Chain A
Amino acid sequence: MSTPGETGTEAWPLWEVFVRANRGLSHVHVGSLHAPDADMAVRNARDLYTRRNEGVSIWVVPADAVTTSDPDAKGAFFESPAGKNYRHAVYYTKSEGVKHL
């Protein structure tokens, strides 16, 4: 699979941007952008994705460093849990006398 930025039709590589909104929350993917290198990617992310006080921390990751699951193998990957409700905690009944559950 080719990544935008690798093909030569775009001058700068693509970066995926993760922003943490507050202390205690995790970084959340907010989008992507182009930048010549990692330092500029952080700055572009600041300009593009934190204009309205959205975040206190930014991560950028080269888009081609992200390995994705194969969309064509969706069945094999994601349909298996169907019907396996014993994988959910609520499937089980609480044993008598157990505290703090």
Chain B
Amino acid sequence: MSGETPDLGGRVGAEPRIETDPHGDVTVDRVALAEEFAGEAAGAGHAASADVAAYALGLGDDALVLAQRLGDWITRAPELEEDVALGNIALDLLGHARSLLHYAGTHDGRSEDDLAYFRDEPEFRNAWLFEQPNGDFAHTIARQLVASTYLVELYRRVEASTDATLAAIAAKASKEVDYHRDHAIQWTLRLAGGTDESRRRMLRAVEQTWPYVDELFRDDEVVARLVDEGIAPRPSSLREPFDAVIDQVFAEADLARPEGRTAFVVDGRGREGKHTEHLGPLLAEMQVLARAHPGASW
């Protein structure tokens, strides 16, 4: 992520392209944002309004922070195959983050790198769910189940946004989060229906993840204005379809949503820039290199 045409390291010790490459036409020297991601869908130089920029920033931070969390599983997942699966999901999310942050930055001329690497913790707008630690594999799966089920419902609705750039970003992201949700559901079923130990861990993970669900569906003033303009769906309106999917998965996995007296809910204020103690260390690790060597490419 360094500017318009970031250098992701394709030249390091690699031939630019081998004609007999079985994977066909692949180059990694230059990875640029696809046109619809670069905010061009609504015409060249289209800049986001303050409200749209704030909205895109929140969604972009959700994706960026979750991508960073998931990346931590690489070399640590239960099996090599799962390293790749979680790594793929993380990279999809990083793609969404780049598109959304790039678009948010068009409002005040900041680049996606400025937003990712040179904002401090109180300037991040992600919901608390996304910054929660990976925990054990069951925790990560519970967080993925909530996050991807929410994102599927969200992007499906944003696809119909009157903002052409947001609609284009959502259209691409929809297919990807659909696969993320499938991955999370498959693992939820297997952990809940696996051994006594895997079930115990899945139950604990669901219980400890659920307090962070409510924040995702809370309406606020900025979004309320965007709802009126047909740009964004009302967050609270996503709750019913979210619950319907979760109930279906939980019925099959013989799990239950924590309810009643045990249903503790955190007062998440991520969209206001207030965060749990977990975000700071995550950002420190993510930002240290870019801050030590501003403008570096590798």
Q: Is A33 within 8 A of B81, CB to CB? A: yes
A36–B81 CA distance with the chains assembled, in angstroms = 11
* B15-28 Cβ-contact flags toward A at 8 Å (1 or 0): 00000000110100
Q: Which of A50-58, A71-79, A84-92 contacts B (4 or more CB under 8 A)?
A: A50-58
Given contacts A39-B186, A43-B186, contact A52 B81 (CB under 8 A): no
B84: Cβ under 8 A from any A Cβ:
yes
Question: In terms of DSSP, what is the predominant structure of the interface of chain B?
Answer: helix
Residue count of chain B within 8 Å CB distance of chain A: 15
CA distance A36 to B78 in the complex (A): 11
Residues of B within 8 A of A54 (CB): 23
Q: What's the Cα separation between A44 and B190 when bound, in Å?
A: 15
Provide the A24-51 mask, 1 if CB < 8 A to any CB of B, else 0.
0000000001111101100110011001
Complex contact A34–B186 (CB within 8 A): no
- Given A12-B79, A36-B190, A39-B186, is A48 in contact with B23 using a C-beta cutoff of 8 Å? no
Contacting residues, chain A, for B183 (C-beta < 8 A)? 43
Contacts of A11 in B (CB 8 A): 78-79
Smallest Cβ distance from B107 to chain A, in angstroms? 34
Q: Residues on B close to A: CB < 8 A?
A: 23-24, 26, 78-82, 84-85, 88, 182-183, 186, 190
24 CB contacts below 8 A, A to B, read: A11-B79, A12-B79, A12-B81, A34-B79, A34-B81, A35-B81, A36-B190, A37-B190, A39-B186, A40-B186, A43-B182, A43-B183, A44-B81, A44-B82, A44-B85, A47-B81, A47-B85, A47-B88, A48-B84, A51-B88, A52-B23, A52-B24, A52-B26, A53-B24
Could you list which residues of chain A lie within 8 angstroms of chain B, going by C-beta atoms? 11-12, 33-37, 39-40, 43-44, 47-48, 51-54
